[in-house]
Amino acid sequence: MLSSKTHETPPVTSPRASNTPDNVSIKPQRMGFEFGAQVPQYWMGENYLVSHTMNALSVLFPQGEQFFVDSVRAFRGILNDPKLKEEVRGFIGQEAMHSLEHTAMNQHVRDQGMPIEAMEEDLKVLLDAVRLLPKRHQLAVTCALEHITAMMADMLLERDDVRDDMADSMRPLWVWHAIEETEHKAVAFDVFQQAGGTYTERTVYLAVSTAILGVVATWFTGRMMLNDRRNFSIKGTATGLWRLWGRNGSFSSLIPAWLEYFKPGFHPWDKDNSKLVAQFKAEIQQYAAPAYRDGNRRTLQ
């Protein structure tokens, strides 16, 4: 006589919401970078404009990444996939570590006489205005900006010439940040999908967020250049603009990847660069301060 169990309907399992490859681990790692006299004033290609541009981007990270965390955390309660839940935990922890490290870098730039406090106050006003949007729209903004940071991270890891332009004392920060931005590049996107986010929402907010980011980053860069105007040179500025926006420039080369976001079926892991991440991850641990080596992690959630 057959067991009645043979006639039972198998349980229905919900599809996995996470689309991050199984070989990618999203775990926060504190590094404890230090900045001081060993960091040249113009640490990126020894160029006035490019260095101030990168410093301006660093100013955006602490508050910007807190906004990312808040927008993703708002939808934690709807998640059923254990893998995605764990990835959200890792995302929150990694963004917290990025904020700590870039706060230290920003203090270094502040010590050079740059008006960091004024820029941070302006950024707070802007982000407080964005927080008036519906929660899912805030998440769409996060997805858009995470796409931009993931593009920049991939470019930095792929291009030897960009990394070689960085001073030895500054390169580990940006490589480490690029690794972790790549690891969690799909977390906000996958949460957005689970929240019922639409194609229109995500694409409109990419266009809007890109425009606002461009204005703010340019404004912050200009304020730093104005503060450092004694070292201004037309040739150095022209050279810097070409490095960023000329043929195969650091920013202009990102345009095709930016456009990929407008594909209806786009997903951040359509480009699987996990092997590249693993390559650099194996090298970056040596740059962690002794207190944070060998898997000694600190997670803020």
Q: Which domain holds residue 134?
A: 45-286
How many domains does the chain contain in total? 1
Query: In terms of Cα–Cα distance, which of 216, 217, 202, 68 is closest to 142?
Result: 68
Contacts 24+ apart (CB under 8 A), 135-138: 135/71, 135/74, 135/75, 136/75, 136/192, 136/195, 136/196, 136/197, 136/201, 137/201, 137/205, 138/67, 138/70, 138/71, 138/74
Q: Whole-model pTM?
A: 0.91
Binning pLDDT at 50, 70 and 90, where does residue 294 land? low
pLDDT, mean of residues 120-141:
98
E strand segments, the chain: none
- In whole angstroms, what is the distance from residue 69 CA to residue 52 CA? 26
The predicted pLDDT at position 291 comes to 84
The predicted pLDDT at position 285 comes to 87
Q: Residue 256 pLDDT more than 80? A: yes
Q: Within a domain: residue 175?
A: yes
DSSP states along 219-274: HHHHHHHHHTGGG--HHHHHHHHHHHHSTT-TTGGGHHHHHHTTSTT--GGGS--H
Q: Within a domain: residue 32?
A: no
Helix axes 274-284, 135-158, angle to 10 degrees: 70
pLDDT tens digit sequence for 68-119? 999 999 999 999 999 999 999 999 999 999 999 999 999 999 999 999 999 9
Q: Within a domain: residue 267?
A: yes
Number of H helices, E strands in the chain: 11, 0
Q: Within a domain: residue 134?
A: yes
Q: Residue 53 pLDDT more than 80? A: yes
Q: Within a domain: residue 174?
A: yes
Q: Within a domain: residue 23?
A: no
The predicted pLDDT at position 7 comes to 39
pLDDT tens digit sequence for 156-192? 999 999 999 999 999 999 999 999 999 999 999 999 9
C-beta separation of 60 from 154 below 8 A: no
% residues pLDDT > 90 (the chain): 86
Q: Within a domain: residue 226?
A: yes
The predicted pLDDT at position 97 comes to 95
Mean pLDDT of the chain: 91
